[in-house]
Structure 1
Amino acid sequence: MFFHGINWEYVKREYPLLSPRRTVSQKGQEQLLDRIHLIQQFGIEPIHLLEADEGYPEERCIRECYVFGDTVFAFERLPLPMWQLSSHEVGVEVLDLRKCSRIYTYRSVVEVEEWFPGIPCIRTQRPNHLQRTIESGRDHL
């Protein structure tokens, strides 16, 4: 299973396809430098996903994806070509959110279900590290 974390506001803006090429103009300097590095290394700037396996369980993938957003999309398979970015991270050029098999969120499930009818949506607790950040008054991790 593959997992991608994203803030719901970006889902609504980018739906149904996620592609880094569509958001180049919104990137900051550090993100643009990372983009150039990825293009030099892989020929594209990929969408990043975590891949679960025996030593890297789904729960860990979900928890780590929550660092990148309030909603996590799970996919049973991904489109080819696919790049191995690190031991548990893969990348694809474009990600069709309509092809997900499950959605995890700590937001309201009702709005997610309206956008993705028929796809199981699982409401989870807000991850502890995010709750501590909110309670401390900081607006970033």
Structure 2
Amino acid sequence: MSADDSNPLTRARVATRLPAQDLDRGRRFYSAQLGLEPVDERPGGLLYRCGGVDFVLFQSTGASPGTFTQMAWEVDDIEAVVAELGRRGVVFEEVDVPGFRTRDGIAEVDGNYPSKGARGERGAWFRDSEGNLLGIGELVV
């Protein structure tokens, strides 16, 4: 299946927006725990850039349900990233459900992302200060 070049969304950049009930608390978390600083800020929002891709933490009266991954980073060495973030105080989710279990915060996810040429992915999840569920993934090729 090929993308339809006449569809303007196939050429558009995807932009992630994460809600924050307390933007100052969110800024402190992203700085201290993730080592990220905004590249721009406006009243009610902070713009971050990772790997040439932007995401926004924005002031919101609504809260994230935190029941699904809202944003994730793809990394080359998940153990190193999980260890570094753990040293910074990030607490990783432990999951134990049929067919899916984390060990030391990392899960093996067989068959995930076949369109990226991988046979699976290793993943880890944590919540930011605002309850957003964020992920770290390493493709298994």
TM-score of the aligned structures, taking structure 1 as reference length: 0.28
**Structure having greater relative contact order (Cα 8 Å, sep ≥ 6):** 1
Higher strand share: 2
Higher helix share: 1
Specify the structure having the higher radius of gyration (Cα).
2
